[in-house]
Amino acid sequence: MRGCHLQHPVPQPNTLSDLPAMFRCGRTLFALDRPLVMGIVNVTPDSFSDGGRSPRQAIVHGLALREAGADILDIGGESTRPGAAAVSIQAELDRVLPVLEGLRDCGAALSVDTMKPEVMRAVLAAGADLINDVRALQTPGALEAVAGSDCGLCLMHMRGEPRGMQSDPRYGDVVAEVVRFLRERVEAALQAGIARERLLIDPGFGFGKTLEHNIALFKALPEFAHIAPVLAGVSRKSMLGQITGRPVGARLAASVAAALLAARRGAAILRVHDVGDTVDALKIMNVLGDPQ
């Protein structure tokens, strides 16, 4: 079934975006004619949403996510959860590079979740297809680190820094502020010589936002889809716990429901822990759901 469009072919509504419906992502050129599934592969000893993982365990997990239908695997060696300890460049590379190597030929596009320009350069040299930066390439040197390659790029909004970002975030109009920020970051990337078809944007659910902010952003997903293809990451997050009252280990149904709704609102890529369940739900939506 690899690459077969019968897998979960929910068409992207053209009405939501007048941009070329193509996403250039290193070795792969994705036609955004169905939602893509990005599986989360943490390589951190302390991930509390997902358990801790050594590089060897992360490779096994990544292969399982690919088998379950992941189009992209997002490898993360630095925890971005609130209050997480900083990781050195070398420690992050020691975690991520073996996993990149081990998953290189699994068939999925490989994303690396990093904020550090030095890590970006090293993983691109090692064959990463996508750089997923929760700081939207604002770190000095980050735009330059990625501009000369053909990797995909995810520009995410975060208010503040992972440390302390959840302490009383305030916005005047959260949707307007996040839209403006992401438009500015897309503009900065274009100015740095990065092709538009390499760019994704992400409102950054849970990154310096209250439940109310996250709800407003979720409902505004169609508005974001006018700017660039949208990556939505809500899997197992606190906002789902706040709505359902469930702890992180019991948020599967909430995560799948939210992923489907994000797809219906025009998200191009769904970043999830539970790939197989999300792929099944997308198949059901495609066959039994309303035409877009």
Query: Are β-strands 152-156 and 130-133 bridged in parallel, bridged antiparallel, or unpaired?
Result: parallel
Should residue 237 be labelled a site residue for ligand YH5 when binding is judged by CB under 6 A?
yes
Should residue 286 be labelled a site residue for ligand YH5 when binding is judged by CB under 6 A?
no
Least gap, CB of 291 to ligand YH5 (angstroms): 29
Should residue 80 be labelled a site residue for ligand YH5 when binding is judged by CB under 6 A?
yes
> H helices of the chain, where?
55-67, 89-103, 117-125, 142-147, 174-191, 211-219, 221-224, 238-244, 252-264, 275-288
**Residue in 7, 19, 21, 49 binding ligand YH5, rule: CB under 6 A:** 49
Q: Which phi and psi angles does 278 have, rounded to 5°?
A: -70, -40
237 is catalytic: yes
271 is catalytic: yes
Q: Which phi and psi angles does 109 have, rounded to 5°?
A: -70, 145
Q: Which is nearer to ligand YH5, 248 or 253 (CB)?
A: 248
**Residue in 159, 209, 236, 265 binding ligand YH5, rule: CB under 6 A:** 236
Measured over the CA atoms of residue 286, residue 42, residue 204 and residue 135, the dihedral's sign is negative
Check 24, 53, 237, 251 and give the catalytic one.
237
Token pair recorded at residue 287? 């066959």
Provide, for the chain, the percentages of residues in helix, strand and coil under a 3-state DSSP scheme, each rounded to the nearest 5: 40, 15, 45
Size of the site for ligand YH5 (CB under 6 A): 18
Residues numbered 146-205 forming contacts with ligand YH5, rule: CB under 6 A: 154, 156, 202, 204-205
Residue numbers at the binding site for ligand YH5 (CB under 6 A): 49, 80-81, 113, 132, 134, 154, 156, 202, 204-205, 231, 233, 236-238, 248, 271
As annotated, the active-site residues are 237, 271
